[in-house]
């Protein structure tokens, strides 16, 4: 019953995380677009009111005029009806941390630890997970504070921070968990930017306007800087959220480099749209992203299966699965923490094994399965399964 309830908690948290993330990213992308698409106010009286820029848009059968004031309106009170974009960010982060806790912390021995990578106690693994989330934010925030105004140097150091964290996480955790933690670290930076800088800075500016004081522009500049960082973090974070479905990426022996390449492609794509909102179309950016992803497709292509060697029978494969796989992939899993077979895949009967032969061969060959190699599948057993599947394919031709 505990595993069943944990599955429901995971489902509901994942759903909430998705919905809140859509709301946060949608709002973030909209305001980045708005900021980059602003034009000089058409009416002199609007410029006199303090309007920095405006954007006319059409949507849903209506016309909209959005105006931006850098430090509030001049000669008129600030509206009492202000919309604050914050709860989308907080809800996304809180639900994401809930998912991390429900799956990777409570199930650390299965999902977080891979003893073929590092033989960690579950409690130590959870402690390292927390350290990366909190430590990543502290280092990032310190760099931003120290290098204000030196954006290129800051950007280079932030790239270095992500590279080091990506490599280090792959030396500690199971590959899928490492990918997720890179995304969780960036997501923590994004939410912390909102909580510690963007919203407090906006509150100070509003308080100064309400009090009739001159508005300090520094919080606005900091908020803009952190918002720009958030928009470049977004696509890499989104990839790590879906990466668990694609072991061909994280299960590669150099999975940390694969992740860097895919994140770089995401940044290039995001940069293209940021510039496009301002009226510039820099086509080498999406072309570069496509070339990078195309190179990965070629580099990660699996080797042709080896059909040499003695024939492997289906009975032998069934015996192998019974020893290494069906503790989880059974109608009634016996492995603690599983109320149902992962992804609904059952591997008990010959018919079920044949139905899932391609995916089983792929995930066993690349080391993704068994999770953390908890059942101790040997290299010879992996080769045996690969040879059986190759022989099946050859016979079908």
Split at pLDDT 50, 70, 90, the class of 307 is low
Contact 210, 185 (CB under 8 A): no
Which helix (H) or strand (E) covers residue 36, if one does?
helix 2-37
Average pLDDT in the 211-239 region?
92
Split at pLDDT 50, 70, 90, the class of 344 is confident
Tokens 């522009």 label which residue? 217
Could you read off the pLDDT of 55-85 as tens digits, one per residue?
Answer: 999 998 999 999 999 888 888 888 889 999 8
Contact 357, 385 (CB under 8 A): no
Average pLDDT, whole number, for the chain?
90
Split at pLDDT 50, 70, 90, the class of 361 is confident
Please tell me the number of Cα atoms within 13 Å of 374 on its side-chain side: 17
**pTM for the complete prediction?**
0.87
Specify whether the backbone of 335 is left (phi greater than 0), alpha (psi in -120 to 50) or beta: beta
Predicted local confidence at residue 352, as pLDDT: 87
Q: The tokens of 395 are what? A: 């016979």
Q: Is the per-residue pLDDT at 6 higher than 80?
A: no
Split at pLDDT 50, 70, 90, the class of 306 is low
Q: Is the per-residue pLDDT at 1 higher than 50?
A: no
- Alpha helices per DSSP H over 100-217: 122-146, 151-170, 175-192, 199-210
Average pLDDT in the 123-147 region?
96
Split at pLDDT 50, 70, 90, the class of 3 is low
Name the phi and psi angles at 39, rounded to 5.
Answer: -120, 160
Q: Under DSSP, is residue 57 helix (H, G, I), strand (E, B) or coil?
A: strand
Average pLDDT in the 97-109 region?
92
Task: Identify the DSSP state of 245.
Answer: G
The angle that helices 199-210 and 218-242 make with each other, rounded to 10 degrees, is 150
Average pLDDT in the 334-348 region?
81
For 326-357, b/e burial (b = at least 16 CB within 10 A) is: bbbbbeebebebbeebeeebbbbeeebbeebb
Range from 30-44, 177-191, 261-275, 379-393 carrying the lowest mean pLDDT: 379-393
Backbone CA torsion sign across 116, 118, 123, 129: negative
Contacting residues for 24 by C-beta, under 8 A, at least 6 apart = 85, 88, 89, 91, 92
The angle that helices 151-170 and 122-146 make with each other, rounded to 10 degrees, is 170
Predicted local confidence at residue 327, as pLDDT: 86
Calpha distance 4→336 (Å, rounded) = 11
Q: Is the per-residue pLDDT at 364 higher than 60?
A: yes
């Amino acid at each position: 019953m505990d595993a069943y309830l944990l599955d429901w908690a995971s489902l509901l948290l994942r759903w909430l995380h998705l919905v809140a993330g859509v709301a946060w990213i949608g709002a973030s992308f909209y305001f980045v677009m708005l900021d980059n698409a602003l034009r000089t106010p058409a009416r002199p009286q609007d410029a006199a009111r303090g309007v920095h820029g405006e954007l006319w848009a059409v949507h849903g059968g209506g016309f909209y005029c959005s105006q931006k004031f850098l430090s509030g309106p001049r000669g008129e009170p600030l509206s009492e009806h202000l919309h604050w974009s914050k709860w989308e960010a907080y809800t996304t982060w809180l639900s994401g941390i809930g998912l991390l806790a429900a799956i990777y912390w409570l199930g650390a021995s299965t999902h977080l630890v891979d003893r073929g990578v590092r033989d960690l106690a579950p409690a130590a693994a959870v402690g390292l997970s927390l350290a990366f989330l909190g430590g990543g934010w502290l280092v990032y925030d310190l760099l931003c504070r120290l290098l204000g105004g030196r954006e290129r140097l800051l950007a280079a150091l932030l790239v270095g921070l992500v590279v080091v964290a990506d490599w280090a996480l792959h030396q500690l955790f199971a590959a899928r968990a490492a990918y997720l933690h890179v995304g969780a670290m960036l997501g923590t930076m994004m939410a912390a930017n909102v909580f510690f800088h963007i919203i407090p800075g906006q509150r100070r500016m509003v308080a100064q306007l309400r009090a009739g004081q001159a508005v300090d522009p520094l919080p606005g500049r900091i908020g803009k800087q952190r918002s720009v960082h958030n928009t470049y973090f977004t696509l890499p974070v989104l990839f790590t959220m879906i990466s668990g479905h694609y072991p061909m990426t994280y299960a590669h022996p150099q999975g940390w480099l694969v992740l860097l390449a895919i994140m770089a492609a995401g940044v290039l794509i995001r940069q293209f749209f940021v510039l496009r909102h301002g009226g510039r179309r820099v086509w080498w950016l999406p072309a570069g992203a496509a070339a990078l992803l195309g190179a990965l497709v070629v580099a990660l292509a699996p080797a042709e299966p080896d059909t040499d060697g003695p024939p492997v029978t289906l009975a032998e494969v069934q015996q192998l699965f019974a020893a290494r796989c069906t503790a989880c992939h059974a109608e009634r899993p016996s492995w603690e923490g599983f109320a149902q077979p992962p992804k609904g895949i059952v591997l008990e009967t010959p018919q079920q094994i044949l139905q899932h032969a391609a995916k089983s061969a792929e995930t066993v060959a690349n080391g993704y399965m068994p999770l953390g190699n908890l059942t101790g599948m040997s290299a010879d057993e992996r080769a045996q399964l690969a040879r059986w599947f190759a022989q099946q394919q050859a016979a079908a031709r």
